[in-house]
Amino acid sequence: MEIIISYAFAHIIEAIILWMSMSQMYEHRYKQWVTGIAIMAGHAVMFGVFLTGNIYFITAINNSMYIVLMALLFNVSKRSAVFWALIYNAMMAISEQLVFFSTEYIIGIRHVKQEELAIIIAVISLCKIVYFIFVETMVIIRNKSKAVESFDVSIVLLIASLLASLLVFITYYIIESELSLNRKETVWIVISSMVLVSSDILVLWVNIRINERNAETQRIKVQLEQEKADARYYKLENEKNESLEILRHDMNNHLNTMLGMETNSDLKDYITSIMEQYNIKKRTTFSNNNVLNGLISEYSSKCYTENIEFVVDIRPGTIDDIVATDIVALFGNILSNAYEAAKKCEEINEKYIELVVKRKHETTFIKCVNSCAVPPKIIGGNFISIKKDSDRKHGYGMKSIDKIVNKYHGSHIEQFDENEFTISIILMI
């Protein structure tokens, strides 16, 4: 009777550990109390199977039940449910081995099941403490990366490794139950079990690191494709602006001719108001690069709408050797950060952006100064923009700038002084 009570207690603790640890890694599909009741019911089924005493049947049901509970109760894929079910059961097996061996050879309790209820409960509690430590270690490793959901060959190999570990633990359990081992044999089993579980943790960590790098590579590829699309857009935008400038130029000539011909002062005033209303004036060329011209034109329109003074001075031949996608990535992020910062300034006369690009010999100098009412964040010694990005995307603009600068063997410095932010970039082209 004592052993039944103690193992019922063990299943309750295991249910709590499963509920707590999975809640740290994944969102619930249902309400908390529904999830808790379902996990308790699942462990009640596993406890009933445990009373049969068949180690193979118990192992199969435990793994299957964990897979079902994880897949149904949490926002986790079926593949990841299998993955974590194997980890949980492997950690459970190794924790029990370690504690039972320790109590036998350190404390001297050779047959825990034959002891009093208090001793059995104490030993089982120790087992579950070790199990909880193992599980929390897995949670910490997993929460270092959100890439575990990705599925590739490495996941298959990792699951195979966990299955092999689980089979080894079952084998050890059978040997311990059926045979009377001496101290030397027991020590070697404990050492091999610890090495095996350590290797599983190491393999998991390496797998997560690989997935993190793969996810970052994929993100960079997507960003590169986006930059190529932006480059095409800005080129078309510049061609459209060029057509409009031609039309504006012709209209300006026509209206000036009318002003010279007509003596009626009211008509002159009316024509003058039209010219001012539609901003009909001499065409401005920002650079001899269509992509950059399109980009500057876009932010020029934005700044006009927000009453931001936008001054651009790009000398000829300064960016001829920079590829289009790098121009979009570099100047796009510089102007985006400057525009968002200047827009937040309350006073109209405090809103300004100044972009200067010069070149001397093989060195290109880029300087952007903008008004900034809200100080930028500094994380890890690096300035982070104040744009409302998600946590996962936050800071990618500055990372993109840093990547382009490094590509052209340059350097950059950011400075914040009272209500003004300055970024200075040197590129060796």
Digit-coded pLDDT (tens) for 43-55: 999 999 888 888 8
79/70 Cα distance (integer angstroms): 11
DSSP letters for 76-111: --HHHHHHHHHHHHHHHHHHHHHHHHHIIIII--S-
> Residues 396-403: contacts with CB within 8 Å, 24+ apart?
396/223, 397/333, 397/336, 397/337, 398/333, 398/337, 400/223, 400/329, 400/330, 400/333, 401/329, 401/330, 401/333, 401/334, 401/425, 403/329
Predicted local confidence at residue 42, as pLDDT = 92
Predicted local confidence at residue 71, as pLDDT = 92
DSSP-based three-state secondary structure for 287: coil
> Residues 149-152: contacts with CB within 8 Å, 24+ apart?
149/76, 149/77, 149/80, 150/211, 150/214, 150/215, 151/77, 151/79, 152/214
206/360 Cα distance (integer angstroms): 47
DSSP 28: B
DSSP-based three-state secondary structure for 53: coil
**CA triplet 407, 409, 410: central angle to 5 degrees?**
105
pTM of the predicted structure, to 2 decimals: 0.43
For the chain, which residues make up each domain, given as ranges?
Answer: 2-221, 286-429
Phi, psi (rounded to 5 degrees) for 414: -115, 140
Predicted local confidence at residue 106, as pLDDT = 63
Q: From first to last of its 429 residues, what are the pLDDT tens digits of the chain?
A: 666 777 788 888 889 889 888 887 888 888 888 999 999 999 999 999 888 888 888 888 998 999 999 999 998 888 888 888 888 988 888 888 777 777 766 656 666 555 566 666 667 777 887 888 888 777 877 776 554 444 456 666 666 776 676 667 667 666 765 666 677 776 777 677 667 767 766 776 676 677 667 777 777 777 777 777 777 777 776 666 666 666 666 676 666 666 665 566 766 666 666 656 555 444 445 677 778 888 888 888 888 888 899 999 888 888 888 888 888 889 999 999 999 999 888 776 789 999 999 988 889 999 999 999 888 777 655 666 555 544 444 566 788 888 899 999 899 998 888 789 999 999 987
DSSP-based three-state secondary structure for 428: strand
Q: Over the chain, what is the mean pLDDT?
A: 77
286-429 folds as Heat Shock Protein 90 (3.30.565)
Q: Are 287 and 331 in contact (CB under 8 A)?
A: no
Token digits of residue 416 = 């914040």
DSSP-based three-state secondary structure for 74: strand
Predicted local confidence at residue 227, as pLDDT = 74
The contacts of residue 231 (CB under 8 Å, 6+ apart) are 291, 324, 325, 327, 328
**CA triplet 63, 188, 102: central angle to 5 degrees?**
70
Q: Are 110 and 177 in contact (CB under 8 A)?
A: no
Predicted local confidence at residue 176, as pLDDT = 62
